[in-house]
Structure 1
Amino acid sequence: MLDMFSNCRLYQNSHQRSYVYQLASVLGTLVCILSPIIVFKFYRIHRKQTDEALLFNQMQLNSLKGQLNPHFLFNTFNTLYGISLEFPERTPDLIMKVSQLMRYQLESNNKQCVSLEDELEFINSYVQLEKERVGYRCDITFDSKIDNENAYKISPMLLIAFIENAFKHGTCAIEKCFVRIFITVEKGNLHLHVVNSIPTKKTDVVSTKIGLKNTIERLNLIYGKDYKLDIQDEKNTYIIDLKLQLKKFV
């Protein structure tokens, strides 16, 4: 009977391949055991690299904000100084407005995001301050429309540099000039449209270009390629179009 089983093909295959099957079984077991360990190790390495990249980006953002804040402060006090020379009786009220701008700046400095409404109120306060300075000779328009209030958030002081730039270069002449600012939000898509006149005879403006440069670097760090910035420097007008997707409050 043993000879009969020994002549059986199935018996021969199982007997001849027993070592191969055992080896395959061991290897399969090792794969099952080691695969999760290897995957977990690669996940930890990737997570560490990601965290380091995020930390580096955050350090860069903090550095850019740290440079932008003194820049904004410098420009704001220049505005206040100009107003005090022409309208000294209005200086006390304007100092209060400037203090409100500074308070917002300090309070938002350590925040990654603020509500869009707070940021727009900050921009509106700045525009009102500029109206006090050059409103008598400059046509100033500021309009904002949001499709869903209290739903969106934005990095603080991300838009102000474009608006500062419009007032700095668009109102540097005595002749009639204009600054037009439009901000619309539809389905989370923010569109900033800023147009300012370029005087034919303009005075020299001291500009370090820190504000625009840092803002563009911040946009690159926060949004990567997920934003669109179009700047048109034409003969009589300077136009900025910024489009980006806002984050929602959870």
Structure 2
Amino acid sequence: MNKKFDNILDNKWWQEVAVVAFSFTIYTLKNDWMLFSSFTSILMGVFFYLVLYMHAQFNRFFLLPILFKTQRPVTYIILTLFGVFVFSVVLYEITMLDMFSNCHLYQNSHQRSYAYQLASVLGTLVCILSPIIVFKFYRIHRKKTNETLLFNEMQLNSLKGQLNPHFLFNTFNTLYGISLEFPERTPDLIMKVSQLMRYQLESNNKKCVSLEEELEFINSYVQLEKERVGYRCEITYDFKIDNENAYKVSPMLLIAFIENAFKHGTCAIEKCFVRIIITVENGLLHLHVVNSIPTKKTDVVSTKIGLKNTIERLNLIYGKNYKLDIQDDKNTYIVDFKVQLKKFVE
């Protein structure tokens, strides 16, 4: 229903019909058409309305461009007032013709004056031009909004296209490290990696997934990392959600922060830690990730694509409606992220 209504609003012809219907209704109410006793009187009334409508269209196509295109408001006002005066005189002279003497329209004493015709022309002009201008700006705003949405969607798809290979690269690095130290566990781990890849591919074309799906994905990734470095790294993953199935989130949005913690927090033989805490209360998602910074760390291949793209995605999806605080000191690296999630059914 809303889509059909939007289509009507976007259609110029339907907009024109709405403007005519609105202005004609106001015109008939103003002139008490209920008093008309003959078909001829109604035709005369339609004729007078068409004169007023022609004046409004003249202003619309010849004078309004002076205001909107050449930006000369004073010239537009002067020409508009002159046009209103000319058409009011013309309308008054028409009502004085003998052929309209039997028409009830404009025959009352208060209607037989230049002032009344001037008010009629000016009032009808406002009734016709006002909705036309409103519709015009609505179309312009709708066009800009659609262009912005299309551009944002193209940017998001581009960021996803960069992020997905980045995640694949890091995951296979993890699998490679495990296979060197624990080759007997490689088949099971390959299956886990396969599940991660399946989720990645299936969610790639979705704007949103359920929070439960995203958490299962994160949990699988954390378990994979525990297989790799759990023997020498303290890994804590805890989550508390008030209602998992009620919320939706953009897929692969949180994983970059978690990946980064494991990549840089476990790149040394010395004891290290990674702590991940996710809470959702009343729709407010809070991700808190803390990882140790080794004093003697090995070289880590880092393209910095993951965090950069994630922040750009956050800006495109949520604008300024999120909080991201990253603290980097000598011993720990802390990510604190908060965002209000949307519900599936609101």
TM-score, structure 2 normalization: 0.68
Assess if the C-alpha contact under 8 Å between 1:5 and 1:11 holds in 2. no
Q: What percentage of residue pairs aligned between the two structures are identical?
A: 92
Relative to its length, the structure with more helix (as a share) is 2
Q: CA deviation at 1:20?
A: 2.2
- Residue in 1 that maps onto 2:213: 118
Bigger mean CA deviation after superposition, 13-22 or 75-84: 13-22
Assess if the C-alpha contact under 8 Å between 2:234 and 2:273 holds in 1. yes
Q: Considering only aligned residues, what root-mean-square deviation do their CA atoms show, in Å?
A: 4.5
Q: Residue by residue, what CA displacement relative to the aligned partner does 1:86-144 show, whole Å, maximum 9, x if unpaired?
A: 00000000000000000000000000000000000000000000000000000000011
C-alpha spacing 1:14/1:218, structure 2 compared with 1 (3 Å): same
Q: CA deviation at 1:42?
A: 1.1
Q: CA deviation at 1:229?
A: 0.2
Question: After the TM superposition, which parts of structure 1 deviate over 6 Å for at least 4 consecutive aligned residues?
Answer: 1-17
C-alpha spacing 1:167/1:3, structure 2 compared with 1 (3 Å): closer
Q: For 2:200, which of 105, 109, 116 is the aligned residue?
A: 105
Assess if the C-alpha contact under 8 Å between 1:114 and 1:154 holds in 2. yes
Bigger mean CA deviation after superposition, 173-182 or 5-14: 5-14
Q: CA deviation at 1:209?
A: 0.3
Assess if the C-alpha contact under 8 Å between 1:197 and 1:237 holds in 2. yes
Local SS of the residue matching 1:34:
helix
Assess if the C-alpha contact under 8 Å between 1:104 and 1:122 holds in 2. yes
Local SS of the residue matching 2:206:
coil
Assess if the C-alpha contact under 8 Å between 2:106 and 2:112 holds in 1. no
Q: Residue by residue, what CA displacement relative to the aligned partner does 1:173-216 show, whole Å, maximum 9, x if unpaired?
A: 00000000000000000000000000111111110000000000
C-alpha spacing 1:28/1:78, structure 2 compared with 1 (3 Å): same
Q: CA deviation at 1:24?
A: 1.5
Q: Residue by residue, what CA displacement relative to the aligned partner does 1:55-77 show, whole Å, maximum 9, x if unpaired?
A: 11011011101100000000000
Assess if the C-alpha contact under 8 Å between 2:280 and 2:286 holds in 1. yes
Assess if the C-alpha contact under 8 Å between 1:191 and 1:244 holds in 2. yes
C-alpha spacing 1:190/1:31, structure 2 compared with 1 (3 Å): same
Matches within 5 A, 1:1-150: 18-150=113-245
C-alpha distance in 2, partners of 1:4/1:218?
71
C-alpha distance in 2, partners of 1:218/1:121?
21
Gaps of 5+ in 2: 1-95
Assess if the C-alpha contact under 8 Å between 2:111 and 2:117 holds in 1. no
Q: CA deviation at 1:45?
A: 1.1
TM-score, structure 1 normalization: 0.93
Q: Residue by residue, what CA displacement relative to the aligned partner does 1:139-160 show, whole Å, maximum 9, x if unpaired?
A: 0000111012310000000000
Local SS of the residue matching 1:55:
helix
Q: CA deviation at 1:167?
A: 0.1
C-alpha spacing 1:134/1:21, structure 2 compared with 1 (3 Å): same
Local SS of the residue matching 2:235:
strand
Q: Which has the higher contact order (CA 8 A, sep 6+)?
A: 1
C-alpha spacing 1:243/1:2, structure 2 compared with 1 (3 Å): closer
Q: Count matched residues.
A: 250
Larger gyration radius, structure 1 or structure 2: 2
Q: CA deviation at 1:13?
A: 14
C-alpha distance in 2, partners of 1:45/1:63?
27
C-alpha distance in 1, partners of 2:98/2:187?
114
C-alpha spacing 1:204/1:29, structure 2 compared with 1 (3 Å): same
Relative to its length, the structure with more strand (as a share) is 1
Bigger mean CA deviation after superposition, 30-39 or 211-220: 30-39
C-alpha distance in 1, partners of 2:175/2:100?
105
C-alpha spacing 1:3/1:136, structure 2 compared with 1 (3 Å): closer
Q: CA deviation at 1:37?
A: 1.7
Q: CA deviation at 1:30?
A: 1.7
C-alpha spacing 1:185/1:20, structure 2 compared with 1 (3 Å): same
C-alpha distance in 1, partners of 2:202/2:99?
91
Assess if the C-alpha contact under 8 Å between 2:110 and 2:116 holds in 1. no
C-alpha spacing 1:16/1:224, structure 2 compared with 1 (3 Å): closer
- Residue in 2 that maps onto 1:164: 259
